[in-house]
């Protein structure tokens, strides 16, 4: 059995965040979604769970939710099939209220390509393509 990764992001508006991620190519799994959370599926192995602040806080014990507009809490990378898919996700993010930027890692684009995507709440993730020989 393979491993499925579920990344949990705190969001201020579950509905708006769901629409944002749908524009990036994620699909909502309604069976695991409700008014407090939205289950966004990239593929069988990678899901992003969008949780409103009150629901997210249930998992934190005494911790405070990070202000991800000003601080980094996590950087989650996931593989995609081509540099064009990376670019498509980034453009969709920018067109729908998010943002993206590039990091020059000194690796040629024909070997590896990624962009840093920021969602409506400042949560950051990285679609990445790598040439696998």
Return the structure tokens found at 48.
């992003």
The whole-number pLDDT of residue 2 equals 74
Domains and CATH numbers, the chain: 5-60+72-130 (3.10.180.10)
- Residue 84: in which H helix or E strand, if any? helix 83-95
Q: Measure the CA angle with vertex 99, ends 39 and 48; round to 5°.
A: 15
| pTM for the predicted model, two decimal places | 0.90
Tokens standing for residue 113: 């390509």
DSSP 52: E
One pLDDT digit (tens) per residue for the chain, 133 residues:
678 899 999 999 999 999 999 999 999 999 999 999 999 999 999 999 999 999 999 999 889 999 999 999 888 999 999 999 999 999 999 999 999 999 998 999 999 999 999 999 999 999 999 998 7
In angstroms, the CA 68 to CA 120 distance is: 10
């Amino acid at each position: 059995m393979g491993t499925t990764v579920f990344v949990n992001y705190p969001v201020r508006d579950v509905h708006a965040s769901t629409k944002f991620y749908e524009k990036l190519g994620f699909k909502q799994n309604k069976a695991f979604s409700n008014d407090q959370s939205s289950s966004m599926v990239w593929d069988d192995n990678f899901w992003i769970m969008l949780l409103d602040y009150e629901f997210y806080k249930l998992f934190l014990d005494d911790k405070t939710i990070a202000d991800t507009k000003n601080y980094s809490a996590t950087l989650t990378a996931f593989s995609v099939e081509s540099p064009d898919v990376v670019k498509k996700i980034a453009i969709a993010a920018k067109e729908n209220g998010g943002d993206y930027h590039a990091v020059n890692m000194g690796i040629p684009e024909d070997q590896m390509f990624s962009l840093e995507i920021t969602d409506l709440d400042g949560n950051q993730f990285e679609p990445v393509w790598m040439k696998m020989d």
